[in-house]
Amino acid sequence: MQLQAACFALFDELPDVVFFCKDAQGRYTHANRTLLLRLGLPAMANLRGKTAAQVFPAQLGGNYLEQDLRVVASRRSVVNELEHHLFPNHSAGWCLTVKHPLLQGNNVSGIVGISRDLKNPSPQNPVYRRLAQTLAYARAHCTDPLTVGALAVHAGLSVAQLERHLMALLQLTPGRWLLSLRLDAAIRMLAGTGSIAQIAADSGFADHSAFARAFRRHVGVSPTQYRQLGPAGGRLGLNPEVG
C-alpha cells in the first residue's frame, strides 16, 4: 500500500500527464491532481464513482466511456492513441493516451491509463532549429495535398530521418503530425458555418468519409457533434506547434 501511495503521489507531480484508474464499469477509483484540476474538481471524492460520461463535455464523455468498456470487454490495451481532449475548464489539446486492462485471475477488474500532453518543442532544441522552416512550411500548407515524402524533400532528409527527428521532437510520426494539423484546421473551421463536406475538402482530406473517420477516432465525436458542442468546442485553439 505504501508503494501504491508513493506511485500516486509521483503522478500528482506531473502537470502534463493525466493518470487514472477505473473499475470494470468505467467508474473512476483514482486520478492524479492534473485530471482533477482540468475537470475543475476540488478533490478525488468529487470524481470517485463517476464515469467519463458524467464529467466530460457532452458527447465526448460518452465516447471515452465506450472506449473504457471496450478495453474491459476485449482485454486489449489502447497504446499511444492520438486524441484531442476538451475539458469543462475550457482547456483543450492533443495528447497520447494509453489504457491497459487490470487483470485479476481470469477477470478484468478495471483499467489503468495515462494521457500525455503533446507539448511545444523548445526553440533551443537543435532538432527544432534544424527543422524550423519545414515545420512552418507544413503548418502553412497542411491543408494542401502535402505528403510526408514532400515534407522530407523540403527538409533535405530521407523519410526515415524525418521520422526519427519528429518522433524525438514532437512524439509523433510525420504522418500523424500532419493529420493533427489537418484536424486542428477542421476544428477551427467548425466554429463557422461551412458545410461538413466543404470543411473536409478545405482541411486537406481526400474525401468526406476519410475526414469523418479520422475526426471521430481522434477527436472522439463526429464533426457535426463537435460543432454542436458550441463555443466550448469550436472556439478553442490548439497547440500551434503540435496540433
Q: Do domains 2-117 and 126-234 have the same CATH topology?
A: no
Q: Of the CATH numbers 1.10.10.60, 3.40.190.10, 2.40.340.10, 1.20.140.10, which one belongs to the domain with range 126-234?
A: 1.10.10.60
Tell me what the pLDDT averaged over the chain comes to.
89
Domain ranges of the chain: 2-117, 126-234
- Measured at the alpha carbon of residue 108, what is the angle toward residues 77 and 29, in degrees to the nearest 5? 90
pLDDT in tens, 15-42: 999 999 999 999 999 999 999 999 999 9
- Looking at CATH, the fold of the domain delimited by 2-117 is given as Beta-Lactamase (3.30.450)
CA distance 70 to 97: 15
Contacts of 185 (CB under 8 A, 6+ apart): 142, 143, 202, 203, 204
**118-144: pLDDT as tens digits:** 988 888 899 999 999 999 999 999 999
Instruction: Say how far apart CA 149 and CA 44 lie, in whole Å.
Output: 47
